[in-house]
Structure 1
Amino acid sequence: MQENLMAGRVRPAHNPVMNIPLNALRAFEASARHLSFTLAARELNVTQAAVSQQVKNLEARLNMTLFRRLPRGLALTEEGQALQPALADAFGRLASVLQQFEGGRVREVLNLAVVGTFAVGWLMPRLAAFRQAHPFIDLRVFTHNNRVDLSAEGLDFAIRFGDGAWRGLGAEMLVEARMAPLCAPRVAAALRRPADLLDGELLRSYRADEWPRWFAAAGLPDPLVRGPVFDSSLAMAEVAIQGLGIALLPVAMFQRPLREGLLAQPFEHTVTTGQYWLTWLKSRSHTPAMRDLHDWLVSEAHRSDDKDEGLPTR
């Protein structure tokens, strides 16, 4: 025990496994993935002999054979099969972390969940501008149908539709969702007054109060709506584009199909049943990247207030 003492501490036992060169592990991982020293050498930009020697050194340190050398390539032994996935995962994780370092700054990953209608109709056309303004934020976008759990899904933010009242969440309104009937132009041509909608196929969302509220805004009694129900405004819009029904949709989210003549807005009456909100966990402090995304979204939403008012009715 005396010879193992230095400055009152026990020297750790020498472990040759802990001193394995990284190059040897990298050579093995690449060779195991390609089952070829030659292809591994091309990937690592070294000679085939160097890769083979690195693997031999690793086998000697571990005192086990990792490959069976075959006339045409390599085959992993049981020991090699056990080591390969662990190294592949470790190198993958290391590469993922190193990718966050660029130009002397750390790239921060942000996970943003977005209700599909908002993602396609508002966010996607603006993502290039965000990336140009914030090149060191690695934004990852996930779509949902307005049902999302930030904590369970590891999300930084979620954009959803509603009234802004979600327990335990901070919320900031981005875009007002003014709803109007939208349909194919040939369907719109047959509609002269709002009451004509009662004879059409009215497509519905799972929010049952939307059509009644629109008819009330148009000065008409509560209708009996029996059309099909959709959990996605995008799917409902596609059915309307095909001329198979009339959809009550947020006009600001469907500017492109309106401009392209795929959809038409036959009447000027609109009704608001909710807004699109940026939400986050109140219990979590915002990182610098989260603040940047928050501020950019709010700024873009304010800029789009006047532009996304909808197209003139026919």
Structure 2
Amino acid sequence: MLKHWPPLNALRGFEAAARLGSFHKAAEALNLTQSAISQQIRSLESYLEQPLFHRSGRSVSLTDAGHDLLSTTQALLQQLAVGIRRLDQYRKPNQLVVNTTPAFARHWLLPRLADFHQRHPDVDLWLFTSFEVPDMATETIDLAIRDDIGPQAECSFTVLHQDQLYPACHPALPEDGRTTLHGEREMDWSHWQLEGGEDVGQQGKGLNFSDPGLLLEAAGEGLGIALVSQLLGRRMVDEGRLRPLSAQRVRGPVWSCLVHWESQEDPLARQFLAWLREALQPAPSL
């Protein structure tokens, strides 16, 4: 790797001169003097220790090395321009960055976002999902809603909802020879057994899922029986894609919220949290 990079201005000057075939035209395009362009090219050639242009009077043409560098430089400058333009999203005046798990986003939040947007159309919501818990002190996140978080520095921490779990499968799944779908943490059948859950025919072998959202979808697709979240699975039950196998419920994950201290007085964050708490109000038992 290079210990020192050539100056960006020299690369811009080289690209303009190479593209336009003239130091004079490059100087006009970049609002510089021709001598400044010439100096940039000379410094770049000195740095690379080889010529980039053939010079004949006032006309110039690229050497083989110049042609090679031109394609690299144009790709670099284009990528840099795209990256800089992308930063505009961080300057949106009403932006609210919300982090959550893919499962919560897909199965609970996404079906309800239309309601939030209708109530608060001025909030420019950026939904950022991740399997890993974010570091709120270093990442640009206003608030996080997850079932795998605890208190963090520079944040307020609030418990939002105590979930419950129950075994379920697709209504059309035959009772004989049902495949057992296994999840992680609370969605593992060992948790159901430790909490005193009844035997519903679960087996130790079967299909295994690290993502609770995929586990839920697999059950809804009729792949087998799974221990599912009452919060995340309610929509699939209402749609007739899931049928509880027991009236019993056991303790599930705790859904909590972290709000960065810089966002605690932000009216956008307050609007979202108020809507979230209202939407998370317990529904009637199944």
Question: What is the match of residue 129 of structure 2?
Answer: 142
Distance in 2 (CA, whole Å) between partners of 1:140 and 1:58 is: 47
Distance in 2 (CA, whole Å) between partners of 1:94 and 1:141 is: 20
Question: What is the match of residue 95 of structure 1?
Answer: 85
Instruction: Report the AA paired with residue 184 of structure 2.
Output: Y
- 1:237–1:247: 8 Å Cα contact kept in structure 2? yes
Q: Does 1:183 align with 2:173?
A: no
Question: What is the match of residue 48 of structure 2?
Answer: none
Distance in 2 (CA, whole Å) between partners of 1:248 and 1:165 is: 24
Deviation at 1:248, TM superposition (A): 0.9
Cα gap change, 1:236/1:288 in structure 2, threshold over 3 Å: closer, same or farther?
closer
Length-normalised TM-score, structure 2 = 0.63
Match of 1:205 among 183, 189, 192: 183
Secondary structure at 2:244's aligned position in 1? coil
| Same amino acid, percent of matched pairs | 17
CA RMSD of aligned residues (A): 4.6
Instruction: Report the AA paired with residue 78 of structure 1.
Output: L
Secondary structure at 1:274's aligned position in 2? strand
1:89-168 alignment to 2 at 5 Å? Answer: 91-92=81-82, 94-98=84-88, 106-108=93-95, 110=97, 112-131=98-117, 133=120, 135=122, 137-144=124-131, 147-151=132-136, 154-156=139-141, 157-162=143-148, 165-166=150-151, 168=153
Count of aligned positions: 250
Match of 1:258 among 237, 249, 264: 237
Question: What is the match of residue 57 of structure 2?
Answer: none
Deviation at 1:137, TM superposition (A): 3.7
Match of 1:61 among 21, 24, 36: 36
Distance in 2 (CA, whole Å) between partners of 1:100 and 1:108 is: 8
Distance in 2 (CA, whole Å) between partners of 1:137 and 1:154 is: 18
Deviation at 1:302, TM superposition (A): 2.5
Length-normalised TM-score, structure 1 = 0.59
Cα gap change, 1:224/1:247 in structure 2, threshold over 3 Å: closer, same or farther?
closer
- 1:161–1:274: 8 Å Cα contact kept in structure 2? yes
Question: What does the per-residue CA deviation read over 1:194-225, in whole Å, with 9 as the maximum and x for residues that have no partner?
Answer: xxxxx8543222224422155x25xx479985
Gaps of 5+ in 1: 1-16, 38-49, 192-198
Deviation at 1:246, TM superposition (A): 0.8
Q: Does 1:297 align with 2:273?
A: yes
Secondary structure at 1:243's aligned position in 2? coil
Distance in 2 (CA, whole Å) between partners of 1:210 and 1:294 is: 35
- 1:100–1:107: 8 Å Cα contact kept in structure 2? no
Secondary structure at 1:186's aligned position in 2? coil
Instruction: Report the AA paired with residue 252 of structure 2.
Output: T
- 1:239–1:245: 8 Å Cα contact kept in structure 2? yes
Instruction: Report the AA paired with residue 211 of structure 1.
Output: W
Deviation at 1:249, TM superposition (A): 0.6
